[in-house]
Copies of this chain bind each other. A is one copy, B any other.
Amino acid sequence: MNPALIKVMLVDDHPMVQDGLSACLSFYDDIAIVGNCGDGSAVLETAKQCQPNVILMDISMPKLNGLEATEIITESMDSAKVLIFSMHESAEFVTNAVQAGASGYILKDTNSEEVYQAIKSIAQGKSYFSSSIAKMLIDNPPAQANARLTAREQMILSYIAKGQSSKDIAQTLTISIRTVEAHRRNIKSKLNLDSLAELVRYAVNQGLIDS
């Protein structure tokens, strides 16, 4: 086995994106695609079979989302580095990804050359972030990196995103409206989001809701 060969595994639920990446990366002879996976829930199994050096991972996937999958991988396989491949350009996404153990974060609107560079960096143990990501982290430093919601807050948020009012949620969970409102405030404060609309979009993007 060529020691300089970087074994890459793709995790994305869009075959076209997989095909595209495979095609683009096949031009580089120091990279080998050793596995594909269309769903986060099969990531660990596939990774153990393929033993990749780098896992190129989409965040938004059905069933298990990319952040959870990343957490599982980084906790159980030291050899595999995770490179997030996302279309979301928001500080929370990036910080969450880093907390989950990702080594890098690139956007889907980057070209194949940059994807190649990112994979090389990650394989060498370095980290890599899209330039626009780096710029955003400088402009908008992750002041509260601890923006993760508690289980209760996630539950409340999912009801909110489903369209239930605070009153409805209070009745469903048999707690006071004031409690629900307090959770609302805490969630918005933690996520630094002002409007209900942004909450809903966050919930949808996080996969807290079927949508």
Contact = CB atoms under 8 A, between A and B. Distances in A.
A111 B15 contact: yes
Contact of A20 (B19, B38, B165, B201): B19
A54 interface: no
- Identical chains bound together, number: 2
Interface stretch (A74-82, A145-153, A155-163, A179-187): A155-163
Interface string A133-177: 000000000000000000000000000111111000000000000
Interface stretch (A96-104, A122-130, A189-197): A189-197
Contacts of A194: 163
Interface residues of A, number: 36
Q: Which 6 A-B pairs have the closest CB atoms?
A: A20-B20, A23-B23, A163-B195, A163-B197, A200-B200, A14-B108
Interface stretch (A40-48, A64-72, A203-211): A203-211
Contact of A197 (B14, B19, B23, B196): B196
Contacts of A20: 16-17, 19-21, 23-24
Contact of A198 (B163, B193, B205): B163
A71 B54 CA distance: 42
Contacts of A193: 163
